[in-house]
Structure 1
Amino acid sequence: MRPARAADERPDDHLDDLDDHADNDLGDHPDTDLGGHPDADLGDHPDTDLDEPAEHARFAAYTAELEHSTPAEEPALVRRILTDPDRTMAESAVTRHLDRRAAAIHATPDYTEWARSMAAATAGHAFLADRLREWTLLRDVCLNHPWDPEALTRSSSDWLQLRLAEAPATPVPALTLLADQGRTKRIRHLARTSLRLRRGGSRPCRL
């Protein structure tokens, strides 16, 4: 049985680790982090257990199912995945899916109904609710819809601020705000750099 998740453990903390195992053989993938695998040098360890950890296999299966799901299938599939006993892994798979889908459709009219359906499907999962809220704020910023500056500076995560700060196409008001009030030195630096690189008027954010 997996130990209980620590209070400050976030699903996206595990995405890189799970992604390394989702589709790739350890011996062939140059970016795989082998630090957690003391027997990663398979040539020197003939008795190494080659079985993939069960949660990694389920993560790969879930992300593949989500990627190929239709809009009609998507909400029920998300609900089913979130019943997995490994809550962190399940939320990581759904987070990855939300990020992929939102990046693809956030600037389109389809986003509003999709976000509403995902909010219902992920009810009871605070991290996923926050992620959807931040995608909606990002959409409002990028499309020059009305948005609350305090929501960006006081209640948004490093993830959202970094995503906006590193994109020169982010509208100037948001970049200016982040250059001055970003949560970290890195965010403030990226926002200032994006402001210097920016040319012309507002354009759609490219994510």
Structure 2
Amino acid sequence: MNVHDIQQNPDEHVRFAAYLDELGRVADPDEVDLVSHVLTDPDRTMARSAVLRHMDRRAVGLCSGPAYEKWAQTMTQATTGHPFPVQRLREWSLFRAIALELPWQPENLLASSNWLQLKTAAGTNAEAIEILAEAGRTKRIRYAARAGLNHRSES
């Protein structure tokens, strides 16, 4: 099934599942075109959700390796004009920097979404976890970070 055929289905739940299937099977050279095309779906919220789920799956697999940077650049091009996916890519890049102990700025972490702060609080970078334990955006984030710090000190 191609993306044009998918967009002809009136049921957004069917389209969402079909997009996820296509995105899960797409070859690397065709990924940018497919992501760009999915984002043309009339149901913009559903399309962005499918693309975000795809990006999250791909980022998990690529995050710790050198292929991540090129992938993130091409995905940024594919999602231009769609602020939420672009923000998610920036946050994946920040998460990667924190996890790999590359240079990063604490103010960027503190300005990030709850999603990234929770993901970071569950990570291994002690500096980032300490920052979130003190100044995380929500009580839940601060609690998760403190629990992570307590677990580390008991180990």
TM-score after normalising by structure 1: 0.68
- State the SS of the aligned residue for 2:29: coil
1:156 maps to 2:112:
yes
Give 2:67's aligned residue: 110
Structure 1 residue 166 displacement after superposition: 2.5
1:142 maps to 2:99:
yes
Give 2:3's aligned residue: none
- State the SS of the aligned residue for 1:73: helix
Give 1:171's aligned residue: 125
What RMSD over aligned residues (CA atoms) do the two structures have, in Å?
Answer: 1.5
Correspondence 1:1-207 to 2 at 5 A? 54-153=11-110, 155-167=111-123, 170-198=124-152
1:86-117 superposed Cα distances (whole Å, 9 cap, x missing partner): 00000000000000100111000010000000
Larger CA Rg, structure 1 vs 2: 1
Distance 1:98 1:83 in 2: 17
Give 1:47's aligned residue: none
Larger relative helix fraction: 2
Distance 2:105 2:89 in 1: 16
Structure 2 spans left out of the alignment, 5+ residues: 1-8
Q: Give % identity.
A: 52
Distance 1:77 1:98 in 2: 12
Distance 1:71 1:199 in 2: 42
1:142-178 superposed Cα distances (whole Å, 9 cap, x missing partner): 000000100001x2000000111123xx210000000
Q: 1:119 is aligned with what amino acid?
A: T
1:41-77 superposed Cα distances (whole Å, 9 cap, x missing partner): xxxxxxxxxxx97000000000000001111010000
Count, aligned residues? 146
* Structure with bigger RCO (C-alpha 8 Å, 6+ apart): 1
Give 2:4's aligned residue: none
Distance 1:199 1:110 in 2: 34
Distance 1:138 1:176 in 2: 15
Structure 1 residue 192 displacement after superposition: 0.6
Structure 1 residue 199 displacement after superposition: 6.2
Distance 1:56 1:199 in 2: 46
